[in-house]
Amino acid sequence: MLVVLPARYPEQRPIMQIIKAKVSHRYIGENYQIYHPSLDNWTQQSSLLFAIRAIHSEFDRVPPQLAYDEEVKFGAGLDSKGEPMRYSKNFEQICDQLEGMTNQELKDLLNEDMDTFTDNIQGIKTQAEENLRLKDEIEESYENYLKIRKEYDSLKEQEQEIMMKLSKENIIAALDNKIDENREKCDQSKESFVAGEIQFNEYMNEYRKALEQVHKFEIIKQKLE
């Protein structure tokens, strides 16, 4: 049985609820909250210990019954082992501890729980702020990735263009142009010599250089083919 002391306790009555068990009883209502006369008639002068003992006595006299599929079942009030339902064997010790506590001590106990809750909330807030910071870093990293990827794609495209220019067919075509150019130089040198425009030695030098270029490009072409 869970006992919750509200912030305005003892002016406001405590809240008692059955947890970890689906049971039915005339004093157990929605969400397994307990509605006992000792709670219904609660005043600032009421005793928490008296209310707990009164409810415990009532449950001992008429044990709560198991409820199946959210449906109230009336029976002998037995547990899964076929024995009468009973509360924790430490119940009397808890009652003795509560009996020895003043209202102020009970309030302090509640405040300790609230402090723990507040600390947990602060921890959740800190974690949320950290997650937001990481989210910003991830977004920035993703933007940098997109920028680098764009540059990579551009370089890849340039590489493909260069490789196209350096393809076998393009290289052979360029070699043919060079061969034709140098053959034309050979013919021009010969024509200039016949026309008397250049001397024999000059003609031979120009002709030999152009012919060497023709042979060089033809050899390269043959290797590619």
Domain count, the chain: 3
Cα R_g (the chain), whole angstroms: 49
Q: Please say which residue of 57, 84, 101 terminates a domain.
A: 101
> Are 89 and 160 found together in one domain?
no
One digit per residue, the tens of pLDDT, for the chain of length 225 reads: 778 887 778 888 888 888 767 788 888 887 788 888 988 888 888 888 888 888 888 888 888 887 654 443 333 334 444 444 444 445 556 666 666 666 676 666 666 655 565 566 677 777 888 888 888 888 888 899 999 999 989 888 888 887 777 778 888 888 899 999 999 999 998 898 888 898 999 989 999 999 999 999 999 888 877
> Are 12 and 92 found together in one domain?
yes
Question: What is the distance between the alpha carbons of residues 212 and 131, in angstroms, rounded to a whole number?
Answer: 73
Read off the amino acid at residue 172. Answer: I
Cβ atoms within 10 Å of 105's Cβ, excluding its own: 11
Instruction: Tell me the residue range of the domain where 197 lies.
Output: 167-224
> Are 181 and 108 found together in one domain?
no
Question: What is the distance between the alpha carbons of residues 39 and 1, in angstroms, rounded to a whole number?
Answer: 14
Question: What is the distance between the alpha carbons of residues 219 and 141, in angstroms, rounded to a whole number?
Answer: 53
